[in-house]
Copies of this chain bind each other. A is one copy, B any other.
Amino acid sequence: MEKKTGKRAKGPTVRSVAERAGVSKSLVSLVMNGSKQVSEKRRDEVLKAARELGYRPNALARSLVSGRTNTVGVVISNVANPWWVALERGLSEELDRHGVRALLADPRMDPEVADGLVEAFLELRVDGMVFLGTQPVEEVARNASRVVPTVLTSFSRPIELPNVDCVNVDDEKGIALVLEHLCALGHRRIAYVDGSDRLVTSDNARLAAYLSQMERLGLSAEIRTDISDVPLNEDVGYDAARRLLGAEVPPTAIVAGSDLGALGILAAADDLGARVPQDLSVTGFDNTRLSSIRHVSLTTVDPNGREMGRLVAQCLAGRIESPDRPRRDELVEPSLVVRATTGPAPGR
């Protein structure tokens, strides 16, 4: 009847509000943006008209002219493994404070999908990008950083790009906390289990930390590692633990590079009849929800994700403000969460 079929019903615009309130569209714009220099009277009239029409500003049009979207894209490497939740929370909270909103995207572990996703964000003209975790996105992140302010966080290995800020947990400190804890419990034969991303096995910060800290503690002779060439997961941890525990002189404690890996170790201990923590102590890394489950109660390192997220947001906000300022490389202090999987070394 009143609308041409085929066209979708258009919502109210600044124009229709202006007509209804009997003012110019410029004034409506001023009111909607809370300008101080409009008279009380006009402001009320405009707001009333807007309410009556159910007016909602069109962010597309706004951003087109203003050049800012107040939106940042967050690419989460692997949504299935919820270590990122605390980080994302801190990030969003802090961004909120800057009037910016985070939109999340899941690349589904597929580099091509990741590519498309980032492309979509860039076409949307987001003000910045955050890459959360290495897996399928490293190359993509590189490219994005040439176009828009970018922050990387929780990459498993150091990345130095011009104009890109990085935020990471202090792996060295985290591993040190674990080893000191185990040492204090009398452990000496402490093994380390981890995986690696497909690209490089060489610079795994946690592994490096294990090696240097063992040395510092005078335990160089006890160093034993089992490093897979795929990312650490439960199965990888399980297999590694079976190998380590099957040795002639098995370790009394196993440190894993992630909570998931530690779970695999726990399962292996179960299967081999080793009691935790009486016969074997096990630690994880990340303090995911998994580790806090009563049935698991894993001693682990809390990377302080919320704080990391907050830092990421601050870096990003800063770089949006001044895109060419020198790069920041932040380390966040982790803490140790002692639960039920660590105890005194056997025979002590």
Contact = CB atoms under 8 A, between A and B. Distances in A.
A100 to B, nearest CB: 10
Contacts of A69: 60
A93 interface: yes
A272 interface: no
Interface residues of A, number: 56
A51 to B, nearest CB: 14
A336 interface: no
Contact of A80 (B82, B93, B116, B125): B82
B79 A264 contact: no
Given A8-B67, A89-B108, A123-B59, A263 B294 contact: yes
A99 to B, nearest CB: 11
Interface of A: 8, 10-11, 56-64, 67, 69, 71, 79-82, 85, 88-89, 92-93, 96, 101-106, 108, 113, 116-117, 119-120, 122-125, 147, 234, 238, 263-264, 266-267, 270, 289-290, 293-296, 323
24 contacts: A8-B67, A58-B64, A58-B123, A58-B125, A59-B120, A60-B63, A60-B69, A60-B124, A71-B124, A79-B85, A80-B85, A80-B289, A88-B106, A89-B106, A89-B108, A93-B108, A101-B117, A103-B103, A103-B104, A234-B294, A263-B293, A266-B295, A267-B295, A296-B296
Given A60-B69, A238-B294, A267-B295, 20 more contacts: A8-B323, A56-B119, A56-B147, A58-B64, A58-B123, A58-B125, A60-B125, A61-B64, A80-B85, A82-B82, A92-B106, A92-B108, A93-B108, A103-B105, A104-B104, A263-B295, A267-B294, A270-B295, A290-B293, A296-B296
